[in-house]
Amino acid sequence: MYSEGMSTSANASTPERLIESTRELLWERGYVGTSPKAIQQAAGAGQGSMYHHFTGKPDLALAAIRRTADEMRAVTEQVLGAEGSAFARIEAYLLRERDVLRGCPLGRLTMDPDVIASDELRAPVDEMLAWLRGRLAEIVQEGLAGGEFAAGLRPQEVASTVVATVQGGYVLARASGSPAAFDTAVRGLLALLSPGAPVTPASPRP
């Protein structure tokens, strides 16, 4: 989702270097592929230092995942909370600069069996995505109230579609080795959402 690099100053504290190094490794290798030794080497910290500050890899990974989720939420809110129409803010979110071929630092963790099997590690990922769907739904509702979107749209469904398009776009881009697949996906969704686009009203639910 985000192109901002995760970097740590050489003067940062040992816990800070450990967390930032873990964030990078989780994004690059996933949880399973991130070993304590690799974390220590990347952080320039010894085994004793690591286990002095964290009880183990799961504890350190949780701190790293939480920080990534918090950062992503803050960056996303800067875009979604900016001035402009509902469509313009959703457009800005979909078209913002991303390191597409690296994938989403949180979304990639949903494919990691050890993360999915852990309620604790999975929670920050689930909470961030739930927040994002909710925030997008609020904006779609604003657009409906202002007459920007066709009345047949359902805010929660549109929000889920936006998130699914972004996450699926990462997969398509990584599979093809080109960001073009991501761009095509998000621009296709924007064409469907653009004011005046025809929308088939949803069938009443039982």
Average pLDDT of the residues in 114-132: 96
Task: Answer whether 193's CB lies under 8 Å from 165's CB.
Answer: no
> What is the spatial distance between Cα 108 and Cα 27, in angstroms, rounded to a whole number?
7
Looking at per-residue pLDDT, the higher value among 204 and 18 belongs to: 18
What percent of the chain is predicted at pLDDT more than 90?
83
* Residue 204 pLDDT exceeds 70: no
Looking at per-residue pLDDT, the higher value among 78 and 5 belongs to: 78
Interior angle at CA 169, CA 163 and CA 173, nearest 5: 155
Looking at per-residue pLDDT, the higher value among 11 and 60 belongs to: 60
In single-letter form, the type of residue at position 85 comes to: S
Average pLDDT of the residues in 59-78: 97
> What is the spatial distance between Cα 202 and Cα 119, in angstroms, rounded to a whole number?
34
> What confidence tier does 206 reach under pLDDT thresholds 50, 70, 90?
very low
> What confidence tier does 151 reach under pLDDT thresholds 50, 70, 90?
confident
> What confidence tier does 195 reach under pLDDT thresholds 50, 70, 90?
confident
CB contact set of 28 (below 8 Å; sequence gap of 6+):
102
* Residue 138 pLDDT exceeds 80: yes
Phi, psi of 131 (to 5 degrees): -60, -45
> What confidence tier does 4 reach under pLDDT thresholds 50, 70, 90?
very low
CATH number of 14-193: 1.10.357.10
pTM for this model (two decimals): 0.86
* Residue 61 pLDDT exceeds 60: yes
Residue-wise pLDDT for 70-104, tens only, equals 999 999 999 999 999 999 999 999 999 999 999 99
* Residue 12 pLDDT exceeds 90: no
* Residue 112 pLDDT exceeds 50: yes
Helix or strand or coil: residue 30? coil
pLDDT, averaged across the chain: 90
pLDDT value at position 11? 67
Average pLDDT of the residues in 54-78: 96
Interior angle at CA 43, CA 50 and CA 105, nearest 5: 100
Domain boundaries of the chain, sorted by first residue: 14-193
Tokens in use for 14? 């040992």
